[in-house]
Amino acid sequence: MNSQKPVSSAQQRFTFTRRTMFVGGVQAVLGLVVSARMAYISVAENEKYTVESESNRVSLTLIPPRRGWFIDRVGKPIATNQADFRVDLIPDRVVDKEKTVATLRKLLDLTGDDVERITRELKQAKGFQPIQVADGLDYNSFAKVSVRLPELPGVSPRQGFSRFYPSGPAVGHLIGYVGVVSAEEYQEKKNPLLITPGFKVGKDGLEKVFEDKLQGTAGAKRVEVTARGKIVQELDTRQDIPGKPIQLTIDIDLHNYAARRLGLESGAVVVIDCLNGDILTMASMPSFDPNSFSGGIGRTEYKWLRENERIPLLNKALQGLYPPGSTLKPMAALAFLDLGIDPDETVFCNGGYTLGNRRFQCLGTHGSINMPNAIKASCNTYFYSMSRRVGYDAIAPVARMLGLGEEYKLPFNSQRYGTIPDSAWMKKKYKKDWSQSDTLNATIGQGYVLTNPLQLALMSARIASGRKLQPNIIAGKRPLAPLLPYSQEHFAIVHDGMDRVVNGPGGTARGSILPVEGVKMGGKTGTAQVRGLDKRGGNQWKYRDHGLFVCFAPVDNPRYAAAVVIEHGVGGARAAAPVAKDVLTFLYDREKAMAALESFESGWGGTPEERMARELATFRGTVASPAAPAATTPKPPTTVTPPANPAAPQKPPVKKPDNAA
C-alpha cells in the first residue's frame, strides 16, 4: 500500500488501469460461474428438470374403472353400475365454504343431513381428497350446477358411475357396500386412483373381500394445462378396464323372496343346494340399504340403524349365534343310531325327566314313544333318556361331523362359529367337569350350544344328502362331496322322523305342509330360550324365545335344505316354519309363493324398502306419507296355532332348563 506517499496523476492512471483489469477479471469469472451453473442445470440435471417440466405441463386425470358386477347363479345382476351425474367438492379450491355449500344446497335440494355430512367432511378434509356432494343426479340438477361453475370454485360436476344394488336391503349383509376411501386406507397404499372423485372401494362383505378382482384398472386422460389449471388441449386417453364380474351361487330371486318374507321379524334364512352345497339364499333382516351407504350415508340414517334394537348392521346368518333348541334332535337321533340304539326302542314320557333331584320338563306327556315319533313330537324325555345313556361326548363328534361349531372357508370377514361343547371343552374353558345335566341341556340344543343359521342349514343339508357338503358362495364346478360315515339306513330313519314333523299327524310343524303337489318337506322345529324362565321380563320382545326351523325338500329325494331363525319369534312352528314353507314353495311354485307374500306385505305396510323409508322418515321426525300406517303394524296372522308354551310350572334350578317345541 502506498497510502503514506503522496499520489500523482500518473500513479492514479496506472492504478486505474490495473484496477480496471481486475474488475474485468472479476466480471469474466462471474460470467464463467453463470455459464457453468447454466451448463450444470441444463446438461447434468436436464433429465430431472425435463420430468418436472412435463409434470407441470401434463395433468393426468384418472378415469375410475367400472367396478365388476356381482351376478347370481343364472347371471342375474346383484350389484351393477349405474351411469350417473355427480358433484364433488375439492376442499383446497373452495374459497367460501359456507356460501358454496349453501348455494349447492339450493341448487341440488340437499337435505339437512347431507349438508351436515358435507360440512363435517369439509372440516376434516385433507385438501387433496375430494368430497362427494351428491351423486345419482339427473341431468337437470347437473346442468344447474354446471352453468354456475364460475362463481363456485372448487365444485366439480362430473359424469361417472355409481354402484347400484337392485335388491336394496335384501343384499346388504351378503354383498356389503362400497364407499369412499378413508384417509388411513389412502395412507397405506398411496394409489392416486383411490382419491379420484367417484372412486369407491368395497367397505364390507363380499365387496370388500373381492376388492382386488372387482376394482379393475383405471383409465387415464392426459391433458395439457396452464399454471392456472386451464386445459389447453387433450393429449390422449386410455380407456379403463372394468373389474371382473363375480358369479355367486345365490339365486337372487329366491334370496329376495326370503328377505321379504322375513317381514317385520328379525332373523335369517339360509337355503343350501343339497347336491353341491351351493348357498342359494343367505338373507338376514332387518338390514341396511347398501345403496344409501354407497352414496355416503347421512348421520341420521346411520344413527337410526345403530340404535335399532334389531341390529340391522349385523349379518345374522353368519354373525348371529343362537341356541339351536330342538332343531338338533335329528342330529342327536343320528348319533343314537350310530351308537347302536334301536329306533324302535321306546321311552316312557310322563311329561318330564328326573335327574337326581332335578326335574327336566317335556312339552307334553307322550307316553311310550319311539325315535321317529320322538322327533315328530319333539319329545324331550326320549332325548334326555337316550343322551344320558350314550353321553354327550359321543354326540358332539356327530354334531361336528354335520357342520356345527365348525369353520368354513367362506369369503366373509367376520363369521362366528358358535360352540359344540363336550367334557374336554368344559375343562378347558371353565375348569369344570361335564355333568349329566349338561348332557341333557346340550342334547336339546340349549346350555352351552350355540350355532349360526348357516351352520343349521348346512346341518340339514348334510342330513338330507348324507354327504359332507361344503358351503359355497362363489359359483363353480366342484367335485361331488364324499359320503358321511353313517349308514344310509340311519339317514332314512331320521328323514322319516323329519317327514312326520311336517306331514305326520301330530307333527309340530303340521301347519307348514308344502302347498305343492308331489313335494313333501321334512323338517324340525326349535324354540330356544333366551333367558331363564324365572327371569322372563313380561312380554318384552327381547326376552321372548327364538323360533327356529330346519328343513329339506323333497323328503324322498332331497334337493334343497334350509334353516330359518326368527329372533324372539316365540316358537319355531309359529314363526320360523311358515317362512321356510313359503321359501321352499317359491322354488317350486313362484306364483303361489308370491301371492302368499303379497297378502302378508299388505298387512305389514309394503316391501322392506317402503317400510324402511317410512321408518327412517318417522325417525327423522317427518312422516313421509301420512296415510301410511306407522311401523307399529300388528304382527301378521300366522297359519299355525302356536304350540303350548310351557308356563314354567316349576322353577328350574339352573339357568338352562328344557324348553323345546
List contacts with other proteins (CB under 8 A).
1, 3-4, 6-9, 11-13, 15-17, 19-20, 23-24, 27-28, 30-31, 33-35, 37-39, 41-43, 45-46, 48-50, 52-54, 56-57, 224-228, 232
Q: Cβ(116)–Cβ(124) under 8 Å?
A: no
State the nearest-atom distance from the C-beta of 166 to other proteins, in Å.
Answer: 47
Task: Spell 307-345 as b/e; 16+ CB within 10 A means b.
Answer: eeebbbebbbbbbbbbbbbbbbbbbbbbbbbbeeeebee
SS3 sequence of 48-108: HHHHHHHHHHEEEEEECCCCCCEECCCCCEEEEEEEEEEEEECHHHCCCHHHHHHHHHHHH
Q: Which is nearer to other proteins, 5 or 190 (CB)?
A: 5
Q: Which is nearer to other proteins, 29 or 83 (CB)?
A: 29
Q: Which is nearer to other proteins, 8 or 539 (CB)?
A: 8
Q: Which is nearer to other proteins, 58 or 595 (CB)?
A: 58
Query: What is residue 43's DSSP assignment?
Result: I
Question: Identity (one letter) of the amino acid at 69?
Answer: W
State the nearest-atom distance from the C-beta of 25 to other proteins, in Å.
Answer: 10
State the nearest-atom distance from the C-beta of 157 to other proteins, in Å.
Answer: 25
State the nearest-atom distance from the C-beta of 95 to other proteins, in Å.
Answer: 17
What is the β-pairing status of strands 131-137 and 231-238?
A: unpaired
DSSP states of 130-178 as a string? -EEEEEEE-HHHHHHHHHTGGG-TTEEEEEEEEEE-TTGGGGHHHH--E
Cα–Cα distance measured from residue 206 to residue 411, given in angstroms and rounded to the nearest whole number: 7
C-alpha 314, offset from chain centre: 7
State the nearest-atom distance from the C-beta of 29 to other proteins, in Å.
Answer: 11
State the nearest-atom distance from the C-beta of 225 to other proteins, in Å.
Answer: 7
Q: Which is nearer to other proteins, 33 or 83 (CB)?
A: 33
Q: Cβ(107)–Cβ(115) under 8 Å?
A: no
Q: Which is nearer to other proteins, 22 or 430 (CB)?
A: 22
Q: Cβ(97)–Cβ(127) under 8 Å?
A: no
Between helix 392-401 and helix 436-443 the angle, nearest 10°, is 30
Question: Identity (one letter) of the amino acid at 99?
Answer: K
Omega within 30 of 0 (cis) for the link into 629? no
Rounded-to-10 torsion of CA 368, 525, 386, 482: 130
Q: Cβ(548)–Cβ(566) under 8 Å?
A: yes
For the chain, how big is the Rg over CA atoms in Å?
35
N-term to C-term CA, the chain: 121
Q: Which is nearer to other proteins, 43 or 647 (CB)?
A: 43
State the nearest-atom distance from the C-beta of 50 to other proteins, in Å.
Answer: 5
Q: Which is nearer to other proteins, 17 or 368 (CB)?
A: 17
Instruction: Tell me how crowded residue 5 is: count the other CB atoms within 10 A of its CB.
Output: 8
Tell me the β-bridge partners of 374.
Answer: none
Q: Which is nearer to other proteins, 231 or 624 (CB)?
A: 231
State the nearest-atom distance from the C-beta of 227 to other proteins, in Å.
Answer: 4
State the nearest-atom distance from the C-beta of 228 to other proteins, in Å.
Answer: 7
State the nearest-atom distance from the C-beta of 280 to other proteins, in Å.
Answer: 58
Q: Which is nearer to other proteins, 49 or 541 (CB)?
A: 49
Q: Which is nearer to other proteins, 44 or 627 (CB)?
A: 44
Q: Which helix (H) or strand (E) element contains residue 25?
A: helix 9-39
Q: Which of 511, 627, 624, 631 is nearest to 574 (CA)?
A: 511
Q: Cβ(334)–Cβ(486) under 8 Å?
A: yes
Q: Which is nearer to other proteins, 42 or 599 (CB)?
A: 42
Please calculate the CA angle 556-558-562 and round it to the nearest 5 degrees. 130
Say whether 582 sits in a helix, a strand or coil: helix
At 257, list the grid cell: 323372496
Contacts with 422 (C-beta within 8 Å, 6 or more apart), sequence order: 392, 393, 396, 434
Q: Which is nearer to other proteins, 224 or 253 (CB)?
A: 224
State the nearest-atom distance from the C-beta of 217 to other proteins, in Å.
Answer: 29
Q: Which is nearer to other proteins, 41 or 644 (CB)?
A: 41
State the nearest-atom distance from the C-beta of 38 to other proteins, in Å.
Answer: 5
Say whether 538 sits in a helix, a strand or coil: coil
State the nearest-atom distance from the C-beta of 26 to other proteins, in Å.
Answer: 9
State the nearest-atom distance from the C-beta of 4 to other proteins, in Å.
Answer: 8
Contacts with 547 (C-beta within 8 Å, 6 or more apart), sequence order: 525, 526, 527, 565, 566, 569, 570, 571, 572, 573, 574, 575, 576
Q: Cβ(631)–Cβ(608) under 8 Å?
A: no
Rounded-to-10 torsion of CA 625, 631, 634, 635: 120
Q: Which is nearer to other proteins, 228 or 477 (CB)?
A: 228
Q: Cβ(361)–Cβ(646) under 8 Å?
A: yes
State the nearest-atom distance from the C-beta of 92 to other proteins, in Å.
Answer: 11
* Separation in Å, CA 339 to CA 335, 385, 393, 401, 466: 6, 14, 12, 14, 17
Q: Which is nearer to other proteins, 46 or 487 (CB)?
A: 46
State the nearest-atom distance from the C-beta of 94 to other proteins, in Å.
Answer: 18
